Amino acid sequence: MAAVSCMNKMYGVCFHAVRQTAGLKASRLLQHRAFRSSAVHRQQPFDSSLEKPQFPGASAEFVDQLEFIQPNVISGIPVYRVMDRQGNIINPSQDPQLSKETVLNFYQKMTLLNTMDRILYESQRQGRISFYMTNYGEEGTHIGSAAALDPNDLVFGQYREAGVLMYRGFPLDKFMAQCYANADDLGKGRQMPVHYGSRDLNFVTISSPLATQIPQAAGAAYAVKRENINRAVICYFGEGAASEGDAHAGFNFSATLECPLIFFCRNNGYAISTPTNEQYRGDGIAARGPGYGMLSIRVDGNDVFAVYNATKEARRRAVAENQPFLIEAMTYRIGHHSTSDDSSAYRSVDEVNYWDKQDHPISRLRHYMTARGWWSEDDERSWRKQSRKTVMEAFETAERRLKPNPELLFTDVYLEMTPSLEKQRESLWRHVQQYKEHYPLDLYDK
């Protein structure tokens, strides 16, 4: 106790001394300032309206009225479009003037995606695959954005962007191999259906937890910027995923680190059963861009040319100026969320019918092509027949193919097998031996 009180006394003295010196300095400074400011006062009367805020991180003016900022100060961001719903170009200066060949390719990719969706959705319903997610109604967002990128640009997807991968040249048999988890699957059968990935096509493998791709894309775009190789990153996500904390982290990092990144939000009206009016209160996702200091635009996602123009310009400027862009593409999810969902429980048939029959990206493009004499009923009939045949062939091959060797469950994570993995591997094989009748090993690759 005595020692402690002695120390206290000692420190007390020290603190006192320090305080005195500091106090002396401060009072001299104040005297000095008072002298300077009274000198200014004598020269001219002080005008408080000339004062400017000096706080770091804010460029603003002072005000003397108490007023909260209305949330709708950024509200009703317009929807950029090039074509009306009948496929007419509204403003000729916005017509991307794509060649007939390019437009036909857009249309064929959009409809092929549709056909693939139909066959794989039905396969799941028949118990042939475990799960599936369709892309109905969002084909314009996929093809329009994919076409505007350089093939070398890196893509981070959510899970409903199969058309982007298709446009890049991912073959039908690889889509099927992934969904069937067969021996030809690039992921070696270790992912749920629709979790595609392709190193060759610069498409990062999909992961299920929402929004994880957003900060990953920001990191990748930062790396790309440092390499200075004229490459951009695009990151797709739904309006539901935009509510995740990871979205904020990704937006803020990419803006502050000035990354060549295009954030592409597919606002399709729903996050499973949650409609947008329960998802957010502000003016959608585009309104968030200015808060992060990002250039932002809202486009009609059912207008493939509007999506193309917006993505092309965002891509060009993202790379030239090293900054992120935010595109909110307004569209509608016509299908159920996935094969685990029945959307009739939370939305009306009339609502779905409106988008399917009156505001569909495929019919809008078809109107455009028909008006130019580029596409006829006969073309449509023979293309539908041919594309269905190609999809069916890929589907039948995938179904016949062997499953991957079960040993592959344990590879590709660690360079050398860890003791715990080794134990799991042994117990797997013991289990398979014990219950042989349930494990037809002849269907698996050796």
The item of ligand TPP, Mg ion, none sharing an interface with residue 428, based on CB under 5 to 8 Å by kind, is none
Cβ neighbors of 135 (< 8 A, separation 6 or more) are 113, 114, 117, 142, 160, 161, 162, 163, 335
Q: How far apart are CA 192 and CA 316, in angstroms?
A: 35
Q: How far apart are CA 107 and CA 126, in angstroms?
A: 29
> Judged by CB under 6 A, does residue 240 bind ligand TPP?
yes
Q: Does an H or E element contain 262, and which?
A: strand 261-267
Q: Which two tokens stand for residue 318?
A: 């993202």
> Judged by CB under 6 A, does residue 86 bind ligand TPP?
no
Q: Least distance from C-beta 201 to ligand TPP, angstroms?
A: 21
Q: Which is catalytic among the residues 27, 37, 51, 122? A: 122
Stretch that binds ligand TPP, among 1-9, 25-33, 118-126, 206-214 (CB under 6 A): 206-214
337 a catalytic residue? yes
338 a catalytic residue? yes
Contact residues for Mg ion, defined by CB under 5 A: 238-240, 268, 271
Return the number of the residue (161 or 303) whose C-beta is nearest ligand TPP: 161
* Distance in Å from the first CA to the final CA of the chain: 78
> Judged by CB under 6 A, does residue 249 bind ligand TPP?
no
Cβ neighbors of 312 (< 8 A, separation 6 or more) are 96, 148
Are the C-beta atoms of residues 215 and 241 closer than 8 Å to each other? no
Q: How far apart are CA 200 and CA 315, in angstroms?
A: 21
Q: Which of 179, 271, 297, 391 binds ligand TPP (CB under 6 A)?
A: 271
Closest C-alpha to 260, from 211, 219, 306 = 219
Return the number of the residue (234 or 394) whose C-beta is nearest ligand TPP: 234
> Judged by CB under 6 A, does residue 315 bind ligand TPP?
no
Closest residue to ligand TPP using C-beta atoms: 238
> Judged by CB under 6 A, does residue 333 bind ligand TPP?
yes
> Judged by CB under 6 A, does residue 332 bind ligand TPP?
no
Q: How far apart are CA 429 and CA 407, in angstroms?
A: 9
Q: Least distance from C-beta 348 to Mg ion, angstroms?
A: 18
Q: Which is catalytic among the residues 208, 340, 348, 382? A: 208
Are the C-beta atoms of residues 311 and 144 closer than 8 Å to each other? yes
> Judged by CB under 6 A, does residue 20 bind ligand TPP?
no
> Judged by CB under 6 A, does residue 109 bind ligand TPP?
no
Are the C-beta atoms of residues 286 and 298 closer than 8 Å to each other? yes
Q: Least distance from C-beta 155 to ligand TPP, angstroms?
A: 16
The item of ligand TPP, Mg ion, none sharing an interface with residue 262, based on CB under 5 to 8 Å by kind, is none
> Judged by CB under 6 A, does residue 165 bind ligand TPP?
no
Total residues at the site for ligand TPP (CB under 6 A)?
A: 15
Are the C-beta atoms of residues 152 and 168 closer than 8 Å to each other? no
Are the C-beta atoms of residues 285 and 328 closer than 8 Å to each other? yes
> Judged by CB under 6 A, does residue 195 bind ligand TPP?
no
422 a catalytic residue? no
Task: Indicate the Cα dihedral angle 171, 173, 174, 178, nearest 10°.
Answer: 150
> Judged by CB under 6 A, does residue 247 bind ligand TPP?
no
Q: Which is catalytic among the residues 123, 145, 198, 338? A: 338
List residues with catalytic annotation. Answer: 122, 208, 337-338
Residue ranges binding ligand TPP (CB under 6 A): 160, 208-210, 238-241, 266, 268, 270-272, 333, 337
